[in-house]
Amino acid sequence: MAFVLLVPYNDSMHLGQGFNSFLQEPCIDGAVKISEGSVQTQAARSGGSSNVSQVVSYSSRFVEKISDVVRSMNISAASSIKSGTIQVSGNSMSVDEIKFAASDINAVISVKVINRKLNQLFVELDKGIKLTSEQFFQLYGDCYISGRVSSLDTTQDDIVLMVYPHSLKSAMNGATGDFVLSEGSASSSLEAWVSQTESTVTVNWSGGGQIKPDEDEWTLESLIRAASSFPSRVAACPQRTFAILTPYTRNRDFVKWAIPQNIVVPDFTKIQYITHDLLDNYMLYKSNLAKLQAAISDPTGFRVSQYSNAINLNINVLLDERKSLKLEMAKITGAIDRFNKDPSGTVVEDFESPEIWATRLPVPTDQGDTRLISQKDIDSIISGFSFVDVVPETTPTALDDSLGKKTPGQKDGEAPVRNQPAVSKTQDPTGTLVRGTSPSVTASDTLTAQLEAEMKKKQQEAEKKQQDLEKARPPPPPEPPLVDLYRSSALLQFKPKDLEFLKSDANRRKYAKYRFEAPVGSEGGGRFNDAEVLENSPAIPPTWPKTVKLLMRAWNDEYLLSQVQVVYQHHNLTWGGAGTVVKTIPIDLSDDERINRVVFGRGSAEKGIQGVSYVEVQTTSGRVFKGGNQENAQMQIFEPFGGAIGLKGFWGMRGDVLDMIGPIWGLS
């Protein structure tokens, strides 16, 4: 980790709070004792100026990757991937990743004013509490908040740099890398070059009060002027922008406590470069997704790319490509989750290069050269023409005048004849030599007509080649046979609406990896279906449940299943109402553990119980969970069938309680 590890600050952060530096998520409060006075300077505590120990750092540089921006602004690449965007606290800024990707030049200017922390004491756990390293990390994180920073950060995006990009970089004191941050540079050639470009300046700051009049726009000159005066403004009007993190491993009290407890805190230093690469790929995928979505919205405004393996404009193909792009993004998100659990791991997925993917995307018709043949082909066409042989009989020149020679048609005593049309010798179709004037006009018209004809021929050849490729393309694989999603023996137990869902050919294909049991209970309330939620999130692959929680309430002196909660890796689904809970059945499942037996007991109608009054659940590891009243309950036992291996979720009907509920099994 860097000597000073910073993260964007928000009002929920407190000094001494535990923190996950990888995902930039706060953890348990009060992990380390730090008093507010300990982060002030000695002069400030005695009533003097608080800025005598400020550490001011300036940086200004050109950047090519979005990961360079988050690194400069101390934003976690992993958290940016998880949230899908790059956001910063302070006076309103989020980085426009699409605009960044389209820019010719991007520059980041940063000013940070740091007030450092002093004494911190790790708060030991009670001796009776035993934690593993994983449990400690989940509760405490790998760092703690030890101080605050005021800062100003900007990004300078030159979006359409049509004029002299190299000269602009030279004006900013270097072709690449760092450039000098000074007021003088802003008023000279730098400002002149920037004025020739379309540029966007985005500024984020906290502290220092109003650093620019509201009516003035941000320009490079006003930006550098504000950056130069920012430290003195912070001294007069401080505000927190970044939190300073300190790893537990640098706290003497923690190390003394952790060694006997065998607590090892994860170190994310070695995977930061991998994470930043993943962020660059993720944001390029996001940019590709935006371009693809534009083509889906208006296919007529796009043409097929000229690169190999181009995506055609068929709407079904575009939708499939969008799904594939989202799956690539989901792979990256999954890799981040695994790194958070084990930073010593590696990326196991294969990612298709987003840069190559970008070349396959449809291109706007108003962008670039829309010709179907290249300039090289056109040059070849022109070079193959047989031009008319122009043989001027006479061509007056300045030399004729200087030598006193007569030009054709010049009579004695007259000035030389000027601007006479050249006379050419051409062959007509009969072979007769024809004399005429202005042959260059005729040749130009002939050339244009021949060029248009040749281009039309090329276009027809390209269309025929495309048709031949379509014919040569192998037929799509046959669709897999339709499967039954339910037990045939339980056909009569399903409600008509349920059967309509299960017998639909489209659903039999879409939910081929699920098996549905007949729900227990009586109709009422609205329908719910975990499988629909899982399958309608194409960018997030369905996972097995991590936690299942069943809540029961009192109903006419009986138990009634009122709510079910299923927690997946990316979903948290809750159905029904809790009411006054009298029994909770929590089931936490390990990664390879499945629920393979469910028993629902339907309550006694005489006591007004229309739903489930008894629940019993068994897992593949042999654990059994029970709740409710078995007396007078009509038991229905459910176990996986049709190749399924465990519980995937539930479906049924719900309102204030669960009126009907049935298991959904999943295949491997």
Domain boundaries, the chain: 5-267, 270-364, 488-667
Q: In the predicted model, what is the mean pLDDT of residues 141-149? A: 83
Q: List CB contacts of 178: < 8 A, sequence separation 6 or more.
A: 59, 60, 61
- For residue 33, the one-letter residue type is K
Q: Nearest 5°: phi and psi at 390?
A: -90, 120
Residue 474 has pLDDT above 90, yes or no: no
Confidence of residue 36 (pLDDT cuts 50, 70, 90): low
Q: What does the pLDDT read at residue 420?
A: 45
Please check whether residue 562 is in contact with residue 656, taking contact to mean a CB–CB distance below 8 angstroms.
yes
What proportions of the chain, in percent to the nearest 5, are helix, strand and coil? 35, 25, 40
Whole-model pTM? 0.47
The architecture in CATH of the region 488-667 reads: Aligned Prism (2.100)
Q: What does the pLDDT look like over 249-306, one tens digit per residue?
A: 888 888 888 888 888 999 888 888 888 888 888 988 998 999 999 989 888 888 888 8
Least-confidence region, from 136-145, 174-183, 205-214: 174-183
Which residue is associated with the tokens 């985005």?
A: 202
Q: List CB contacts of 450: < 8 A, sequence separation 6 or more.
A: 385
Q: List CB contacts of 477: < 8 A, sequence separation 6 or more.
A: none
Confidence of residue 175 (pLDDT cuts 50, 70, 90): very low
CA distance 400 to 211: 75
Q: List CB contacts of 110: < 8 A, sequence separation 6 or more.
A: 57, 58, 59, 60, 72, 73, 151, 152, 153, 154
Which residue is associated with the tokens 């899908």?
A: 84
Q: List CB contacts of 504: < 8 A, sequence separation 6 or more.
A: none
Confidence of residue 170 (pLDDT cuts 50, 70, 90): very low
92: left (phi over 0), alpha (psi -120 to 50) or beta: left
Confidence of residue 190 (pLDDT cuts 50, 70, 90): low
CA distance 149 to 114: 5
Q: Nearest 5°: phi and psi at 447?
A: -60, -45
Q: Tell me if residue 635 falls in helix, strand or coil.
A: strand
CA distance 87 to 207: 18
Q: What does the pLDDT read at residue 348?
A: 62
